[in-house]
Amino acid sequence: MTNVVAVSAAAPDVDLDGKPKANRDGLPVHVVQVAVTYNGDASLLKVKVAGEAPKVSVGTPVTLVGLTGTQWAMTDRHGISWSAREIRPVSAPAAVGPPAGKN
């Protein structure tokens, strides 16, 4: 079973000069850090989203819609850049009505 939990609120992605980044379409880019657990292992990922900032808070279980990873390498450094179309809170369970004797 895979669990994904936000460990940061959305923040603007900035360049080395502190200027906010935008994608090719001019939409602002935001970053959310998430913890992903799977079969007892955990990883911390920085996931970027273009457009409106995701409305998630620390500790919120989230869904990563359209998650993609892009490999990159620069001299002796390398890694994976993660992006998603959307990061949204996992839907709360449906209400089940009033407790017995409270209708």
Give the pLDDT mean for 2-12. 95
Backbone phi, then psi, for 68, in 5-degree steps?
A: -135, 150
Which of 15, 12, 5, 7 is closest to 38 using CA atoms? Answer: 5
Looking at the 3D structure of the chain, how many domains does it have?
1
Domain limits for position 44: 2-89
- Sequential DSSP letters for 51-94: SSPP---TT-BEEEET-EEEEEEETTEEEEEEE-SEEEEPPPPP
Torsion angles phi and psi, residue 65, rounded to 5: -90, 125
Task: Give per-residue pLDDT as tens, 24-83.
Answer: 999 999 999 999 999 999 999 999 999 999 999 999 999 999 999 999 999 999 999 999
Position with higher pLDDT, 2 vs 13:
13
* CATH number, domain containing residue 28: 2.40.50.140
pTM attached to this predicted model: 0.82
